[in-house]
Chain A
Amino acid sequence: MWQRRGGRGSATVELAAAIPLLVAVTLAMVGVIVVARDHVLAQGAAREGAREAALSGDRTRAAAAARAAVPPGRSVRVSVTPLPPGLVRVEVVLVARVLPGASAAVTVRAAAVAAVEPGPPPAPAGR
């Protein structure tokens, strides 16, 4: 009787010991998916901004286009920097909440580089 109880208990304990690992890895997988989704989101925003910069040559319009590509309510930082030989670089920084409710956050950044049209840029509006 004693031995039987002990055996059952150890089986339960062994299974119970595996459960935290299971939960941890599952949560980590969810976190990875969330970060990957936000990375794709940031990359798309950077692409939209770079495309706008290439087409209009206007940095403020490029930043606005990048911000418009991010769902409203997300805090996003957009920087548009010209690179020397006719290129412009748009960088988007997003803060990804790894798990809903948890305060753990990962900073996700993506950048895109586009060629701006050579020659005089169109009259810079608002700058």
Chain B
Amino acid sequence: MSTAAPPARRGGGLPLSRPSRRQAGSATLIALALSVFVLFAGVMALDVGLLVVARARAQTAADLAALAALTAAHAGPGPGGAGAVATANGAELLACSCGATEAVVTVRSRVSMLPAGLALSVTARARAVCQA
């Protein structure tokens, strides 16, 4: 009987005591992989949130800078206070094709992402037209 047992176990796959060890090791691995993945996903969510917020801010800066360029155009065509408005909104003025009745403004702002040191820049454009 005792000589017949090993072939039967071999035929059934793994010895009785093996699955538990393999399970224990794989559970640790799965837990580790899961933790890394979940933390990575968390960082990604944070970064996406940062980018979305930064885009909204840049769009605000572009919008109001274009408006400011047009407001100043009553005194004469040119960027006028567009640069100051963009700076006050946390962005920098990249380009401004500013006429007396139309202003197209491009601004850029820097975003510092979560892995410290990683920084991206977000650009936004806006156009303002004077219909009066």
Contact = CB atoms under 8 A, between A and B. Distances in A.
A40 interface: yes
Given A47-B60, A54-B64, A113 B85 contact: yes
Contacts of A68: none
Nearest to B57: A43
Contacts of A36: 48-50, 52-53
Interface residues of B, number: 43
A22 interface: yes
Interface string B71-101: 1101100001100110011000000000000
Interface in A10-30: 10-12, 14-15, 17-18, 21-22, 25-26, 28-29
B23 interface: yes
Contact of A115 (B45, B48, B59, B64): B64
Interface in B1-42: 16-17, 19-21, 23-24, 26-28, 30-31, 34-35, 38-39, 41-42
Contacts of A12: 27
B67 interface: yes
B111 to A, nearest CB: 13
Looking at A110, A115, A116, which has the most chain B CB atoms within 10 Å of its CB? A115
Given A29-B41, A43-B53, A11 B23 contact: yes
Contact of B85 (A5, A17, A114): A114
Interface residues of A, number: 46
Given A4-B17, A14-B28, A54-B71, A47 B49 contact: no
B57 to A, nearest CB: 6
Given A32-B42, A115-B67, 19 more contacts: A10-B20, A10-B27, A22-B35, A25-B39, A25-B41, A26-B38, A33-B45, A36-B53, A40-B53, A40-B56, A43-B57, A44-B60, A50-B60, A51-B63, A54-B71, A87-B88, A113-B89, A116-B71, A118-B75
Interface of B: 16-17, 19-21, 23-24, 26-28, 30-31, 34-35, 38-39, 41-42, 45-46, 48-50, 52-53, 56-57, 59-60, 63-64, 67-68, 71-72, 74-75, 80-81, 84-85, 88-89
